[in-house]
Structure 1
C-alpha cells in the first residue's frame, strides 16, 4: 500500500524546510519507507523494482542490465539537464508564468540534448521498448523527459536522427498510463 503526495516543484514546495529534511537536494522523487527517506531516481526506481515488481523491469542478462544503467545515466547526466532544466522550463514553464523564454539558453541546450538522444538511439534495440520486448527502468527514465520535451518545437530537431527513438516514443506514448498522464 502506498500514498502519493504531489510536490509542487514549480511553486517551491520542494524547497520547504519539511521537504528538505526528507531530501536535502530538494528534488523529486523521494520515497518514504517505514520512516526512512530514499531519494535519487535511480535508487528509488531500483528499490521499487526489487521490492514491488520482483525485478520485472530490470533485464536479467548482464549486458542488457548494463545498457539499462547506461541509458539511465545518459538521461540523468545529459538529456534531463538540457531538455527539462532548460528547454522545457524556457518553452513551457516561463511562458505559463508570464515570462519570455531565454532563446539563447534554449538554443544552447539543443546540441547537448541532441547528442544525448543520439547516444540513447545507439543503445536502443528498438522494438517495441528501448531494450527489446519488455519495459525496463530505462523506459521509465526516458518517458517523462519525452512527455514534456515532445511539447516543444525543439523536439523535432533533437530527435531528427533518431528513428528508433521516435518509433519507441510513438509506442510508449500510447501506453494507457501515459495516455492518462497526458490527458
Structure 2
C-alpha cells in the first residue's frame, strides 16, 4: 500500500488507521504549499486533486471514509469496526457526521472557493467558522464521546474525529469548555499510532 498524504489534513486519519491496523505501507507526501495536488503527476493518481489516496496493488482508492473502511476490513482482528451491527452503525453515524458536517464547517475557513467567488463571501464564511465548529464540538461532547473513545475500543471513527479535533483551536473554538474532547484527545495522543505519525511529520 502507498498512502498519498498532506501534513495536517484529513489524510492523517488514514495514516493513523494504517498504524492501528498494523498494515505495511509506504508514505508519499503531497506538498500543498507547492500546489502538487493540482500537478499532472498527482492528478494522474487522484483526479480530484485532494488527499488522501491509497494505492493498493494497481487500484487507487480515494475518500477518507472509504479508505478507513478498507483498512478495517483488511485487518479484521484489530476490531476497528464493532462486530455488533448496532454499535457499528453508531460508530458510522459519528464518522459520517464528522465527515459531512464538521469537516465541511472547517473547510469554510480556507476553502471558500468551493462554494463562492467573491472575497466578501469568503470573509463571511470564514467569520462563521468559530460558531459552526463550536456547535459541532458541542454535539461531539454531548452526543458522541460518552465513553473514552467513540465505542468500547478504538475505531476508525476515532481516527477521523481525532484529526478534525486537532483543527478546533485554529478554528476559534474554546476547548476549555469541552472536558470529554480534551480527555479523548489526550488518550489518542498517548497511542503509539499517533506518536508514530507525529514522529514522521505527518501530523505537526
TM-score bracket relative to the smaller structure: 0.7 to 0.9
1:106 equivalent in structure 2 = 126
Deviations 1:47-102, CA, capped at 9 Å, x for gaps: 1111135452101112221121111111111111222x244x49xxxxxxxxxxx7
1:14 equivalent in structure 2 = 37
Equivalent in 56, 60, 65 of residue 33 of structure 1: 56
Distance 1:74 1:46, change over 3 A: same
Q: Equivalents in 2 of 1:30, 1:107: separation in Å? A: 31
Structure 2 residue 164 is matched with structure 1 residue 145: yes
Distance 1:46 1:140, change over 3 A: same
Query: 1:46: how far off?
Result: 0.7
Structure 2 residue 184 is matched with structure 1 residue 168: yes
Structure 2 residue 132 is matched with structure 1 residue 116: no
1:77-96 equivalent positions in 2, closer than 5 A: 77-83=100-106, 85-87=107-109, 89=110
Q: Which structure is richer in relative contact order (CA contacts within 8 A, separation 6 or more)?
A: 2
Cα pair 2:53 2:62 within 8 Å, conserved:
yes
Query: 1:137: how far off?
Result: 0.6
1:155 equivalent in structure 2 = 173
Equivalent in 65, 68, 76 of residue 88 of structure 2: 65
Give me the TM-score of the superposition, normalised by structure 1: 0.76
CA-atom RMSD, angstroms? 2.5
Cα pair 1:72 1:141 within 8 Å, conserved:
yes
* Number of aligned residue pairs: 166
Cα pair 1:124 1:165 within 8 Å, conserved:
no
Gaps of 5+ in 2: 1-23, 112-121
Q: Equivalents in 2 of 1:21, 1:137: separation in Å? A: 28
Distance 1:161 1:103, change over 3 A: farther
Cα pair 1:124 1:164 within 8 Å, conserved:
no
